[in-house]
Amino acid sequence: MPNEEILNQANDEASLEAALDQLDRAAELTGIDEAVHLKLRKPKRVMTVSIPTQMDDGSFEVFTGYRVQHNMDRGPCKGGLRYHPDITLDDVIALSMRMTWKCAVVNIPYGGARGGVVCNPKEMSRHELERMTRRYTTELVEVIGPEKDIQAPDVYTDAQVMAWIMDTYSMQKGYSVPAVVTGKPIALGGSRGREAATGRGCVYIIKAAMRRFGMDMSEATFAVQGFGNVGSWAARLLDELGSRLVAVSDSQGGCYNPDGISATELLAHKNESGTVADFPDADRISHDELFEVDCDLLIPAALGSAINQTNASKIKAKIIAEAANSPTTPGAQVILNERDIIVIPDIIANAGGVVVSYFEWVQGLQAFFWSESEVNKQLEQIMVRALDRVWDKAEQHDCDLRCAAMGVAVGCVAEAVQMRGIYP
């Protein structure tokens, strides 16, 4: 399962009010038809299911599960499934909308969806999680599928959960259906390169952005907030490119060394000790101090709203690449804009995961699997093209990259809605 810090993830990223506000501003920027705008403010389908589950002691719990399909005008829905004690229906609706924009901005043929089960997976055994997952899947079997809605791992779900979903769905259909989920184990049709995809995609975006500014990757310094899957992969890949990691933090604190920190050695230390805070080759710093470190690049890769009005004025980085979902609050964005700090927004910076999920889906449908080098080559091409489109939009409208990315995404979906029309 994901790192401990993920369970404590703030739900600011899932704010429905914020998601609608972003849509409204993008609709104004792109000038889409009012009827299309109204349609995009509402999800296509919202499902709430009860999940009776036998626990290991013989008792029963009835969990509540959600699946929201926001839009299907550009293709089947795509989105993660999270297990979290605080998830609400509004959270899931907001996250499904964000997936629509994320798929559109990188121009892959999906609409957005999201799922959630209200539970605390830290207090459940593997067998309890399996029984709950299989019942959740059974309740939704008529509305999910390779042509309808493809699920993927999210907070506190992983490849094993996807394997249970695939198996349960396949048993209902009477044959193996690997393309019903992505993020599966390789043995069941998962894609090579999927584990590193979000971090790798973020690095491709960073490389392209730095080229635009004439910055040398081998001389760049960077800091990473959050050292889970995404943050650790981004750090290791940047390390390989010659960039110097100077500060890292996780839920228990951080470490700092201006001369550089080996990302590989740091990951080994965290796997052994459970935290980066006591890494022996660096000084211990607080979570807040990480944001004040002097560096070229800052990668928030953990919590929503980590960059806020309190710390935005203290950030010294020239570029922020949002590897996490919604790490920057609207108020902080205003401050960063005033300080000419470039923010590469989450819907493009962390879209590498859904891009490689798309590759996995395609491979599953074709039963023809790619090498990891082919996956990475295709990923880089898609990510760089997407950044180019967003940057062009920002220059055209004289706006920040977040506004431009939403403009590209909403415009893309609106065009599909307009062309298809409203039936009947």
Residue where the block lists tokens 């709430």: 48
pLDDT per residue as tens, the chain (424 positions): 444 344 334 344 448 888 899 999 999 999 999 999 999 999 999 999 999 999 999 999 999 999 999 999 999 999 999 999 999 999 999 999 999 999 999 999 999 999 999 999 999 999 999 999 999 999 999 999 999 999 999 989 999 999 999 999 999 999 999 999 999 999 999 999 999 999 999 999 999 999 999 999 999 999 999 999 999 999 999 999 999 999 999 989 999 999 999 999 999 999 999 999 999 989 999 999 999 999 999 999 987 889 999 999 999 999 999 999 889 988 999 999 999 999 999 999 999 999 999 999 999 999 999 999 999 999 999 999 999 999 999 999 999 999 999 999 999 999 999 999 988 8
Residue where the block lists tokens 């993927």: 152
Q: Which long-range CB contacts under 8 A does 163-168 form with residues at least 24 apart?
A: 163/188, 164/130, 164/133, 164/134, 164/137, 165/81, 165/133, 165/134, 165/137, 167/134, 168/133, 168/134, 168/137, 168/138, 168/141
Domain 191-424, CATH among 3.40.50.300, 3.40.50.720, 3.40.50.620, 3.40.30.10: 3.40.50.720
- Residue 303's pLDDT is 75
- Residue 328's pLDDT is 93
Structure tokens at 314: 């203290």
Q: 349: closest CA among 317, 302, 387, 307?
A: 387
CA angle (118, 303, 51) in 5-degree steps: 10
Cβ burial, residue 396 (10 Å; 0-12/13-18/19+): exposed
Which stretches within 8-64 are classed as H helix?
A: 16-30, 34-40
- Residue 15's pLDDT is 82
Domain 42-188, CATH among 3.40.50.10860, 3.30.230.10, 1.20.1630.10, 3.40.50.720: 3.40.50.10860
Alpha-carbon span 192 to 178, nearest angstrom:
15
The answer to whether 42-188 and 191-424 have equal CATH topology is yes
**Per-domain boundaries in the chain:** 42-188, 191-424
- Residue 2's pLDDT is 43
